Amino acid sequence: MKTLFSGIKPSGDLHLGNYIGAISQWTALQEKYKCLFCVVDYHAITVKQDPKALRKSILDIARVYLAAGINPKKAIIFQQSDVSEHTELGWILNTITKVAELEKMTQYKDKARDEKKEGPGAGLLNYPTLMAADILLYHTDVVPVGHDQMQHLELTRLLTKRFNTNYGTTFTVPETIVRKEGARIMALDNPAKKMSKSSQSPNSYIALLDEPMVAHKKIKRAVTDSDNKIKYDPDKKAAISNLLAIYSALSNKSVKELEILYEDKSYGEFKEDLANLVANFLTEFQARYKKYSDKEVKKILNKGAKEAKAMAEKTMKLVKKNLGVN
């Protein structure tokens, strides 16, 4: 069975973009692969976190995985900092990474801009090498993510090949999996911007823990355009295309089917149906979310850490042998 790895940072509320771009792919793929789903806490601390909030957020992210339908009997769910091999391999990968390759990353440039006053930390710059370590430790074949992680994945692939060339074949070169529609869910109030947890305007995103009626209102208020045609065309009709991508992901109807279904309908009718769909999705999701106690989540994370650690140790033995440090 091939191996799948993915992860989410415990920093702030997850939103519909995270769910559609990443998590919904995971649940669909979990039967086909040996899966590892990580809560990447060492990535979260590349920007300042409050320790109390971080501790809560780690459990909440794992709870989201479970509520979304990840089966802990089949998949490994674990916390990155529980497996110290991630940072160990991250360091090693830093030694084959060029500073210029890291400075080129768009996410780094965006985040560095947010840290104008004191300047970006070294952890922000080295973020992609830790991400590459996450993936390579488990000889991962596929990594399902949203569009914004594709550049990091390209760098991971480059580093994998470089390591294998320098030190002999050690790692599997991973493939990226992104959704055809929904890899980049846009802000509801501005379809030129990505839906993001760091947005200042709560109307721009739907948090997975938003009250269903609040989410309903946000969809009804979402911007559209003036031609009243429900057609998927991200370049010319970004707002409606975004709503179609959300609708398609949550209903399992293809965008084509939706275009036919809403051919003679107005934006108002389309948005009412989508608002109900989103509200129902959240109601059901949140009911499952509330079922998992902290104790239960911790137990699942501990079991996952043991399983991941055993795999990671094996890889590190090979890495050290090939590097000549053992």
* Catalytic annotation, residues: 111, 194, 197
Handedness of CA 60, 66, 69, 71 (dihedral sign): positive
Tokens representing 162 are 């470089």
Q: Which is nearer to ligand TYM, 28 or 260 (CB)?
A: 28
CB 43 to ligand TYM: min, Å: 5
Binding site residues, ligand TYM, CB under 6 A: 5-9, 17-18, 20-22, 40, 43, 131, 134-135, 143, 145-146, 148-149, 183-185, 194-195
Q: Which is nearer to ligand TYM, 249 or 297 (CB)?
A: 249
CB 203 to ligand TYM: min, Å: 15
Residue 302: count of CB within 10 angstroms of its CB: 12
CA pair distance 7, 206, nearest whole angstrom: 20
Q: Give the strand pairing for 175-177 and 186-187.
A: unpaired
Q: Which is nearer to ligand TYM, 72 or 146 (CB)?
A: 146
Q: Which is nearer to ligand TYM, 64 or 297 (CB)?
A: 64
What 3-state DSSP class applies to 74? coil
Question: How many angstroms separate the Cα of 47 from the Cα of each of 9, 44, 79, 112, 121?
Answer: 11, 6, 18, 10, 8
Give the DSSP letter string of 105-125: -HHHHHHHHHTTTT---HHHH
Residue 144's beta-bridge partner residues? 177
Yes or no: say if 177 and 144 are a contact pair by the CB < 8 Å rule: yes
CA pair distance 289, 62, nearest whole angstrom: 10
Q: Which is nearer to ligand TYM, 245 or 300 (CB)?
A: 245
Q: Which is nearer to ligand TYM, 38 or 258 (CB)?
A: 38
Residue 305: count of CB within 10 angstroms of its CB: 19
Tokens representing 287 are 């009911």
CB 247 to ligand TYM: min, Å: 15
CA pair distance 117, 135, nearest whole angstrom: 33
Yes or no: say if 82 and 134 are a contact pair by the CB < 8 Å rule: no
Comparing every residue's Cβ against ligand TYM, the nearest one is 21
Eight-class DSSP state of 22? I
CB 59 to ligand TYM: min, Å: 16
CB 244 to ligand TYM: min, Å: 14
